[in-house]
Structure 1
C-alpha cells in the first residue's frame, strides 16, 4: 500500500489559497463583531462531528487561548442539553452542525433558521457559515492526508517520543 498523499504538501498553491480564505474569514468575522472563542466553538464542533483528530488538537488549544473553558469544550457534544452556552453560542453551534452534516441533519428549515438568526446580524451569520465551511474543508484535508497528531502532556506540549 502506498503512503497517503499529503495534499497540502502535494498542492501547496491550492493549500495556500485555502489559508488566505481562512485569513479573510477571520478578519471579516472580527470586523463583524464575532470573537475568536465563538469561531473556535464552530471549529471544535465541526471537527468533532467529522472526527478530525488533527483539527481537534489544534482548535482545543486555540479555543483555550481564546478564553474557552475546559468545561465548555468538554460539554460541547451535549451543547443542546447544557445551560452553559449562551444564545449566540447556540446559534453558532446550530450553524456549524447544519453546515457539517447537511445530508444527515439537523437541517435548518426556515423557522429554525429564523430562530438561529435572532441576535445575529447578516454579517455575523455570513461569517459563522463561512467559518463552518472552512473548518469542514480543513477537516477533509487533514483526515484524507492523515495528518499526524503529537502526544501532548497536561500543559499541551508535544511529548518527545510521542506519535508524530
Structure 2
C-alpha cells in the first residue's frame, strides 16, 4: 500500500463538495454578520490553527487578520499570548476559551473558561465565539486530513 496516495486539493474540495464548502463558509458569514469583532475572531482562528498545526489555515487567516487591521505585534506574539502583554482582557478570555474548546482532553469545556468569556462577552457574543472556534476546528481537520497546501503569496 502506497504512503503517497494523492489527496484532494483545496480547489478539488471546493469543487467536489460544494455544499459542504458552502455550509462551512456560511458559519463564518453568520459570525461576521453578528457584529463580533473581525480582528478578534481572526486571532482566535489563528490560535486554534496554531494548536492544530494547520499551515493552510494559518496562511489564509494571517492574510485576513492583516486586512482586518490586527497589529503585527499581536500576530507575532500570538503563540505566546498568555505572557505577551499585548492582548486585551477580552482577547485573552477569547483565546483561553478557544484553547479550552480545541484541546478537550476528553472533557467538556470548563466552567472557568466559560465564566471568563462571559465576563467580557454577552451571551450572544459568547455563542458566536463558540461557533468561530467550532468552525475553524472543522476547517483545520479538513485541511490537515487532506493536506491542503497553503495559498501562495
Q: TM-score, normalised by structure 1?
A: 0.81
Shift of 1:104: 7.0
- Structure 1 residues 13 and 150, CA gap change in structure 2 (3 angstroms): closer
Structure 1 moving runs of 4+ over 6 Å = none
Q: Which has the higher contact order (CA 8 A, sep 6+)?
A: 2
Distance in 2 (CA, whole Å) between partners of 1:108 and 1:62 is 27
Could you say what the CA RMSD is over the residues aligned between the two structures, in angstroms? 1.9
User: Given the two structures, how large is their TM-score scaled by the length of structure 2?
Assistant: 0.86
Unaligned runs of 5+ in 2: none
2: distance between equivalents of 1:148 and 1:96?
24
Q: Which residue matches 1:24?
A: 30
On the 8 A contact 1:42/1:132 being kept in 2, the answer is: yes
Distance 1:108 1:149, change over 3 A: closer
The residue number in structure 1 matching 2:40 is 38
Structure 1 gaps of 5+ residues are: 152-157, 159-164
Relative to 1, partners in 2 of residues 1:150 and 1:111: Cα closer, same or farther, differing over 3 Å?
Answer: closer
**Residues 20/116 of structure 1: CA separation in 2 closer, same or farther (3 Å cut):** closer
